[in-house]
Amino acid sequence: MKAYISGLISDAVRQISPSEAEEVLGSGNFDISYPKSGFGDYATNVAMMLFKKFNVVPAENPVDFAKQLAEKLVELDGGYTFSNIEAQNGFINFTISPRVLLNTLSEIIEAKENYGKVDLGQGQKVLVEYFQPNIAKPLHLGHLRTAIIGDSLFKILGFSNYQTESDTHLGDWGTQFGLLMLAYKKWGDAETVKQDPITELNKLYVRINTEMEADPELREQGKAEFVKLEQGDSENEELWKQFKEWSWQEFGIIYDDLGVRKADNDWPESFYMDKMPAVIEQLKAKNLLVESQGAQIVNLEDYGLGVAVVVKSDGGTTYLLRDLATYIFRKQQGFEKQIYVVDNRQSHALAQTFKILELLGVITSPTEAVHIAYGVLSLPEGQMSTRKGTMVGAKELIQKAQEKALEIINEKNPGLQNKEAVSKQVMQAALKYFDLSHNYKSDIVFTWDKALSFEGNTGPYLQYTHARINGILRKTQGIAVEQIDQNIALEDIEQLLLRKLQKFPEIITQTAENFSPNIISNYLFELSQIFNSFYEAVPILKETDSAKQNIRIKIIIGTAQVLKNGLNLLGIPAPEEM
Ligand code: ARG
């Protein structure tokens, strides 16, 4: 609709000032926005923005120009799309006609799960990297965020016609694994570890870190274990494989319980081992590598990014070097854009990575590599330290949310079938929506009551609204649904709901352009509120006028569909009953 409006504006300006139109339109930019209620569906400041660009002004002042433009727009649209186009204090407001609203409704009912799809991506191939856990380590709350945000962005970009694939970039390489192996060999008991591998391995890791403080020799031994692994020592390789297998079992909680899509690609950090030397050659060829205190660095001080260490003074490779190899490899796989869903503490490291790639000529546009730098998620009861091994991690949070969701369902709807399954869906909604309804950049404090409530701006409330509509629809099953009567007079509240439904595709565009699922979240919350007012204001089952009843049934079918499509993009299931 915004594209239609801007096309209409161009045509109007051409008619008003044929000689200056192209230049004026080319030099001035204006917005088309959603005004507050009472000012139509769309508003634009075009008259004020363009007026100052004319050499020969078409009106006395911007306010008059707005009126002149509005009249032209009415004429050009012919009253088809807009029932009202009106100038007010220099702004022009557009109100969509009931006919178009009814067409939108038919479109939703026909398109079903495809309603809202947009062509922003034009088939561009994009890699979304998210949920990058580290082996042999408990999942912390940050991993919960990258899983939730990444999974949602993945779905949103796909819906916007990007050709998407995901990668998990598993953390499975580095000296810390040498330390862990040392600890396991020294103190590990195979039987105990097998019972609860990640907890036990983490205890061993904590212990070696503590003992290392008193005995620095241990660090050297740990490093040596890692070197052995790098050189293909078979005992260490076996151990490393075993750690990996245990870890994948642990990650099941994110995939199966939280309901996050498994990554399309599994190119872990270790995968880049043999790809790093070529990157060093590339850096040398571009004269980017300098030796400094025995290390190989890239000086990025001119860009305010300090110094990036590529190879350490002991010859060890760095995380940064692996990241360079990662980007280059993935670009070679045909990904024209790469999205990194990584917490904001790594902003500096990624900024360095992207800058070096730009200097290498690998990254060629500023929008090619995107860092979705999300903030910290914490619990009101406080974050505890990994070192002490006492942190409340992702697993505990998911399990506790699951228990609480079941309690709530038992209380609210004790007779419900599949209570276990539904409570899992409610848990997913509670955790995911709590995260996604905030801007990803913000630090957020998780509050149980707020996340799990069935009222207010929460995931369970949206699910409940969807289920409520399905409950009504089950009761309307005997009623014959006819064609939409194009001449029906719509109530204000019906129009309000339809106007909201009509905005959904534009909301998708905005969300995808900004990589911000909270735009969809807010929209769905507002939609649910409008639906609930609608349902209070007009009868459906008891309506005796069949044309009115017919349109209301269609309106709620459309509303349920949009809610479901939106929730799906947030990774939240929409049960029929709860
Ligand atoms: N595994 C890392 C962590 O848990 C995140 C990896 C981020 N991705 C990257 N390409 N550097 O902190």
Task: From first to last of the 578 residues of the chain, give the pLDDT tens digit.
Answer: 999 999 999 999 999 999 999 999 998 889 999 999 889 999 999 999 999 999 998 999 999 999 999 999 999 999 999 999 999 999 999 999 999 999 999 999 999 999 999 999 999 999 999 999 999 999 999 999 999 999 999 999 999 999 999 999 999 998 899 999 999 999 999 899 999 999 999 999 999 999 999 999 999 999 999 999 988 999 999 999 999 999 999 999 999 999 999 999 999 999 999 999 999 999 999 999 999 999 999 999 999 999 999 999 988 889 999 999 999 999 999 999 999 999 999 999 999 999 999 999 999 999 999 999 999 998 887 655 444 445 678 998 999 999 999 999 999 999 999 999 999 999 999 999 999 999 999 999 998 889 999 999 999 999 999 999 999 999 998 887 788 888 889 999 999 999 999 999 999 999 999 999 999 999 999 999 999 999 999 999 999 999 999 999 999 999 999 999 999 999 999 999 99
Of 427, 369, 375, residue with least CA distance to 397: 427
User: Pick from 34, 56, 51, 52: which is nearest to 43 by CA?
Assistant: 34
Nearest residue by C-alpha to atom 11 in ligand 1? 323
Count of other CB atoms within 10 angstroms of residue 249: 10
Residue nearest to atom 7 of ligand 1 (CA): 342
* Nearest CA residue ID for atom 4, ligand 1: 133
Q: Which of 132, 141, 146 to mutate to test the pocket of ligand 1 (most atoms within 8 A of CB)?
A: 132
**CB of 340 closer than 8 Å to CB of 371:** yes
Q: Strand runs (DSSP E) across 70-173, as ranges? A: 82-88, 91-96, 125-129, 163-167
Cβ of 323 below 6 Å from ligand 1: yes
CA gap 353, 164 in Å, rounded: 22
Range(s) within the chain of domains with CATH label 1.10.730.10: 394-569
Q: Position of tokens 């239609």?
A: 4
Alpha-carbon distance of 141 to 258, in angstroms, equals: 13
C-alpha 171 – ligand 1 centre gap (Å): 7
Q: Pick from 157, 26, 89: which is nearest to 516 by CA? A: 157
Q: How far apart are CA 309 and CA 426, in angstroms?
A: 46
**Residue 362 tokens, joined:** 């690998």
Q: Which of 134, 145, 169 to mutate to test the pocket of ligand 1 (most atoms within 8 A of CB)?
A: 169
Pinpoint the residues of the chain covered by CATH 3.30.1360.70. 2-96
171 within ligand 1 shell (Cβ under 6 A): yes
Contact 8, 76 (CB under 8 A): yes
Say whether 416 sits in a helix, a strand or coil: coil
The alpha carbon of 75 and the centre of ligand 1 are apart by a number of angstroms equal to 57
> Which residues, other chains included, contact 216 with Cβ-Cβ below 8 Å and sequence gap of 6+?
none
Q: What DSSP string runs through 163-176?
A: EEEEE---B--SHH
Does residue 282 line the site of ligand 1, with CB under 6 A?
A: no
Please name the helix (run of DSSP H) or strand (run of DSSP E) that holds residue 61, with its range, or none.
Answer: none
Do residues 88 and 131 touch, judged by C-beta distance below 8 A?
no
Decide whether any atom of ligand 1 lies within 6 Å of the 132 Cβ: yes
Q: For the domain covering 394-569, report its CATH number.
A: 1.10.730.10
> What's the CA-to-centroid distance between 342 and ligand 1, angstroms?
6
Is the CA virtual torsion 481, 487, 493, 494 positive or negative? positive
Helix pair angle (98-111, 546-569), 10° resolution = 60
pLDDT at 314: 83
- 2-96 folds as Gyrase A; domain 2 (3.30.1360)
Q: May I ask the CATH architecture of the domain 125-270+315-383?
A: 3-Layer(aba) Sandwich (3.40)
Residue 167's pLDDT is: 98
Q: Is the CB of 468 under 6 A from ligand 1?
A: no
Which part of the chain is CATH 3.40.50.620?
125-270+315-383
Is residue 169 in contact with ligand 1, taking CB distance under 6 Å? yes
Considering only CA atoms, which residue is closest to atom 10 of ligand 1? 323
Atom index in ligand 1 nearest the CA of residue 319 equals 11
Cβ count within 10 A of residue 421: 12
Nearest CA to ligand 1 atom 5: 132
CA angle 515, 519, 523 (to 5 degrees): 150
Give nearest CA residue, ligand 1 atom 2.
Answer: 132
Residues, the chain:
578
Q: How many CB atoms neighbour CB 18 within 10 A?
A: 9
268 lines ligand 1 (CB under 6 A): no
Ligand 1 centroid–CA 134 distance in Å is 8
Query: CA-to-CA distance for 263 and 265, rounded, in angstroms?
Result: 5
Judge whether 49 and 109 are in contact, CB under 8 Å: no
Q: Among 346, 372, 386, which is best to mutate for testing ligand 1, by the most ligand atoms less than 8 A from CB?
A: 346
DSSP string, 341-394: EEEGGGHHHHHHHHHHHHHTTS--STTSEEEEEE--EE-TT----TTTT----H
